């Protein structure tokens, strides 16, 4: 739970600083930060990070939340099924994207977000999260997509 982090402006600024530093050191060019809407708390990280980097933010939402034509993917959660969407014109083929969320648990939601980006033919540079729950092995579902977590818990 990142709620305490969100309540502390200095801590939140430090978090965005760390994520910005990581991305600037890792990738010379990023077109978009994507995701964030995978979970409502993750949505609070993507836009400020994109703004710091001087790039756009592309929302990925639960089905039925985005206007216009969309691409969607149905995926399995540990407690059922869900569906994510992205606007069909959100990115152009070959654009470089980093997918951001607050937490990686079983990896189903992040994998679905990656599938949406692949359908739009974006180049996924990395999946980036604040917290990874390593015992659940979610990063294994991302296969060959680069993955980075700021904090890991066993």
Asked if 140 contacts 107 with a C-beta cutoff of 8 angstroms, the reply is yes
Q: Is 85 a catalytic residue?
A: no
Task: Give the whole-angstrom CA distance, residue 91 versus residue 82.
Answer: 23
Q: Which of 20, 41, 52, 115 is catalytic?
A: 41
How distant, in Å, are the alpha carbons of 78, 95, 136 from that of 39?
15, 23, 18
Task: Give the whole-angstrom CA distance, residue 74 versus residue 66.
Answer: 16
Q: Which of 24, 61, 78, 143 is catalytic?
A: 78
Task: Give the whole-angstrom CA distance, residue 102 versus residue 87.
Answer: 22
Q: Is 119 a catalytic residue?
A: no
Kindly list the catalytic residues.
Answer: 41, 78
């Amino acid at each position: 739970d990142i709620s305490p982090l969100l309540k502390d402006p200095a801590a939140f600024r430090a978090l965005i600083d760390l994520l910005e530093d990581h991305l600037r050191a890792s990738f010379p060019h990023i077109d978009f930060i994507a995701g964030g809407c995978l979970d409502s708390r993750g949505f609070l990280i993507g836009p400020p990070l994109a703004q710091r980097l001087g790039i756009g933010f592309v929302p990925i939402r639960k089905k039925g939340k985005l206007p216009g034509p969309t691409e969607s993917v149905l995926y399995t959660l540990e407690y059922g099924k869900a569906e994510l969407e992205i606007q069909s014109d959100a990115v152009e083929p070959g654009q470089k994207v980093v997918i951001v969320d607050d937490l990686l648990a079983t990896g189903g939601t992040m994998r679905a977000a990656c599938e949406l980006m692949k359908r739009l033919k974006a180049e996924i540079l990395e999946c980036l999260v604040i917290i990874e729950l390593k015992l659940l092995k979610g990063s294994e579902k991302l296969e060959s997509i680069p993955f980075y977590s700021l904090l890991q818990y066993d």
